Amino acid sequence: MSTQAVARTVPYKEKAPFDYSSYIRKGKLPHIWCPGCGHGIVLKSLLRAIDATGMSKDDIALVSGIGCSSRTPGYVDFNTLHTLHGRALAYATGLKLAKPKLKVIVITGDGDALAIGGNHFIHTCRRNMDMTVLVYNNYIYGMTSGQSSPTTPQGMIATTARYGSIEPTFDTCNLAKASGATFVARGTAYHCQELEKTIYDAITHKGTSVVDILDSCPTYYGRFNKVKGNSELMVVAEKEGTVSLAQAEKMTPEQMQGKLARGVLHKTERPEYCEEYEKLMAKAQGR
């Protein structure tokens, strides 16, 4: 049994102008996102990436937990599941096992994926089930008004860290790689065309693919911290705080201080969970 939902994989190419309307559930608009929120930019990159794969909307399932980012599936015309905070990956795992031909894409925030959902995250990566996990990383719990998350940088203000967070942070990509994900990448909302390509590569990878997507919450993170809620300055920070992998490889550790590399940081192959499960079932049933 094939676990790949991709009916037709066409080479990636940019398409402009792009008609988003066929992917949007217009009856669900207006959306809840604040002006300047990065989540809408990421959604547009995701839709263009999905379109570039040539997959049918019926072959795709978007699964999310709870959070501003997790509201995404409500607005788009795919098979969609809006589940419980932190549990998107558990639902996605069950869905993929039941319907292995679906291309499952999980939309999750840094709080949803790495705090309450952290255990699901590491075990999803370990299993290498064929699914794509998009972590919308805005360094804070947006929906519940700005509590600190596992990616809130040290020293930065949150409603639960009024004098600056003293907790060391998770690096989503290092965590995913160490846990066994076979495709690990980082992008930003600022680099939205590059992000589209990165998401395309993640979706067409066979196995667990994780993309850490740096985006912005001007309403809480921006307002509490020195960017003062200015969404433009937050987007500039995404530009200046990251370098392409090619650039990063030429830089010294000192030059990389305060910067993160973008692009595909890790890619490998190993057995995919649903295929291994199918083999096991065949053996157990004497097929």
Ligand X SMILES: Cc1ncc(C[n+]2csc(CCOP(=O)(O)OP(=O)(O)O)c2C)c(N)n1
Q: Which residues lie near ligand X (CB under 6 A)?
A: 66-69, 85, 109-112, 116, 136, 138, 140-144, 149, 217
How many angstroms from the chain centroid is the CA of residue 49?
13
Q: Which partner in ligand X, ligand SF4, none is near 83 (CB below 5 to 8 A by kind)?
A: none
Q: Minimum distance between the CB of residue 184 and ligand X, rounded to whole angstroms?
A: 19
Segment contacting ligand SF4 (CB under 6 A): 136-144, 190-198, 239-247, 253-261?
Answer: 136-144
Query: Of 142 and 207, which CB lies nearer to ligand SF4 in the complex structure?
Result: 142
Return the residue of 39, 48, 177, 186 that touches ligand SF4, per CB under 6 A.
39
Q: How far is the CB of 37 from ligand SF4 (least distance, A)?
A: 3
Q: Is the peptide bond before 17 cis (omega within 30 degrees of 0)?
A: yes
Quote the CA–CA distance of 222 and 158 in Å, as a whole number: 10
**Interaction partner, residue 170 (ligand SF4, ligand X, none; CB < 5-8 Å by kind):** none
Q: Which is nearer to ligand X, 85 or 186 (CB)?
A: 85
Judged by CB under 6 A, does residue 33 bind ligand SF4? Answer: yes
Nearer to ligand SF4, 133 or 217 (CB): 217
Q: Which residues bind ligand SF4 (CB under 6 A)?
A: 33-34, 37, 39, 68, 138, 142-143, 217-220
